[in-house]
Amino acid sequence: MSGLEDEKLTVQLRGLRRQDPPPRQEFVTYLDQTLVKQARQMKQRKTAGRILSMAGGAAATVVLALLVAVPDGKEAPEGTSSVRTEQRAENAPSLAKEKDIPEQRNIPLVAEQRKISQVKEQPKQKERSVITQSQSLPKSQTLPKTASNTPTLSVEQYMKQKLGDKSTQYQLASNHLEKDTAVFQRVINGIPFADSVVKVHLESDGTPAGMVIEENFDAEADLSLFPNPEKAISKEEAVQRLTASLKQEEVATFAGYINALNGEVLDRRFQSVAATGSYSLIPIQAQGKLLMANSDEEIATLIQKEFGVRIGGDNRPLSTEEHESYMEYTWKMTDATYLTARFAKKSGQLLAYRMKTNTESHTSPELSQAEAAQIGAKKLAYYLPSQITQLAMEGAVVEDSAIRLDFIAITQGARAESHKYKVWVDSTSRQVVGLEGNFSEIGESSTESNKGNSPSLELHYVWPELNGKRTPAPYLVYQVKQ
Partner 1 sequence: MQEDIEQRISAIYHAHYQDVYYFLLHFTGNQNDAEDLTQEVFTRVLKGLAGFDGRVTLKTWLFSIAKHAAIDQHRKQKVKSFFSENWLMKLATKEGSPENVLTKRENVRELKQAIQKLAPHYRLVLILRCIEEYSIKETAEILGVSESKVKVNTHRALKLVKEMMDDTEEGGFLNEWARG
CA dihedral 46, 443, 414, 173 (to 10 degrees): 10
Q: Which residues contact 326 (CB under 8 A, 6 or more apart)?
A: 342, 343, 344, 345, 351
**Which window, 165-173, 264-272, 318-326, 447-455, contacts partner 1 (CB under 8 A)?**
318-326
**Which window, 38-46, 222-230, 285-293, 294-302, contacts partner 1 (CB under 8 A)?**
38-46
DSSP line for 46-113: HHHHHHHHHHHHHHHHHHHHHHHH-TTSPPPPTTHHHHHHHHHHHHHHHHHHHT---HHHHS--HHHH
Q: Is 374 exposed, middle or buried (0-12, 13-18, 19+ CB in 10 A)?
A: middle
Indicate which single residue of 326, 407, 421, 439 sits in contact with partner 1 (rule: CB under 8 A).
326
DSSP state of 225: G
DSSP line for 453-464: SS--EEEEEE--
Residue placing its CB nearer to partner 1 in the complex, 197 or 302: 197
**Which window, 4-12, 65-73, 111-119, 377-385, contacts partner 1 (CB under 8 A)?**
4-12
Indicate which single residue of 21, 79, 164, 312 sits in contact with partner 1 (rule: CB under 8 A).
21
**Which window, 15-23, 233-241, 292-300, 306-314, contacts partner 1 (CB under 8 A)?**
15-23
Distance CA 196, CA 187 (A): 9
Indicate which single residue of 148, 161, 287, 325 sits in contact with partner 1 (rule: CB under 8 A).
325
Task: Based on DSSP, count helices (H) and strands (E) in the chain, helices before strands.
Answer: 12, 21
Cβ contact 392:342 at 8 Å: no
- Give the footprint of partner 1 on residues 428-467 (CB under 8 A): 465
Distance CA 258, CA 236 (A): 12
Residue 417 binds partner 1 (CB under 8 A): no
Indicate which single residue of 3, 4, 18, 248 sits in contact with partner 1 (rule: CB under 8 A).
18
Indicate which single residue of 3, 4, 12, 72 sits in contact with partner 1 (rule: CB under 8 A).
12
Minimal distance in Å, beta carbon 255 to partner 1? 16
Indicate which single residue of 4, 16, 119, 177 sits in contact with partner 1 (rule: CB under 8 A).
16
Checking 186-192 for CB contacts under 8 A at 24+ apart, the result is: 186/215, 186/219, 188/219, 188/223, 188/226, 188/461, 189/223, 189/226, 189/228, 189/229, 190/229, 191/226, 191/229, 191/459, 191/460, 191/461, 191/476, 192/458, 192/460, 192/461
Binding mask 342-361 toward partner 1 (x if CB under 8 A, else -) reads x--------x----x-xxx-
Indicate which single residue of 3, 14, 151, 472 sits in contact with partner 1 (rule: CB under 8 A).
14
Binding mask 366-405 toward partner 1 (x if CB under 8 A, else -) reads ---------------------------------xx-----
Residue placing its CB nearer to partner 1 in the complex, 174 or 325: 325
Cβ contact 223:243 at 8 Å: no
Residue placing its CB nearer to partner 1 in the complex, 90 or 98: 98
Cβ contact 396:383 at 8 Å: no
Cβ contact 152:146 at 8 Å: yes
Residue 101 binds partner 1 (CB under 8 A): no
Indicate which single residue of 3, 4, 17, 125 sits in contact with partner 1 (rule: CB under 8 A).
17
Task: Indicate the residue type of 35.
Answer: L
Cβ contact 136:166 at 8 Å: no
- Give the footprint of partner 1 on residues 195-224 (CB under 8 A): 195-197, 201, 210, 212, 214-218
Residue placing its CB nearer to partner 1 in the complex, 202 or 242: 202
**Which window, 19-27, 52-60, 167-175, 236-244, contacts partner 1 (CB under 8 A)?**
19-27
DSSP state of 266: E
Minimal distance in Å, beta carbon 467 to partner 1? 8
Minimal distance in Å, beta carbon 2 to partner 1? 10
Residue placing its CB nearer to partner 1 in the complex, 72 or 335: 335
- Residue 298 has φ and ψ, to the nearest 5°, of -65, -40
Minimal distance in Å, beta carbon 35 to partner 1? 5
Query: Within 10 A of 265 (CB to CB), how many other CB atoms are there?
Result: 21
Residue 6 binds partner 1 (CB under 8 A): yes
**Which window, 26-34, 52-60, 67-75, 162-170, contacts partner 1 (CB under 8 A)?**
26-34
**Which window, 136-144, 194-202, 254-262, 387-395, contacts partner 1 (CB under 8 A)?**
194-202
Judged by CB under 8 A, how many residues of this single chain contact partner 1? 59
- Residue 52 has φ and ψ, to the nearest 5°, of -60, -45
Residue 36 binds partner 1 (CB under 8 A): yes
Minimal distance in Å, beta carbon 352 to partner 1? 8
Cross-strand bridge partners of residue 287: none
Question: Could you tell me which of 342, 420, 363, 427 has the C-alpha nearest to residue 388?
Answer: 420
Cβ contact 141:154 at 8 Å: no
Residue placing its CB nearer to partner 1 in the complex, 257 or 326: 326
Residue ranges in contact with partner 1 by CB under 8 A: 1, 5-6, 9-10, 12-24, 27-28, 31-32, 34-36, 38-40, 42-43, 46, 195-197, 201, 210, 212, 214-218, 323-326, 342, 351, 356, 358-360, 362, 399-400, 465, 468-470
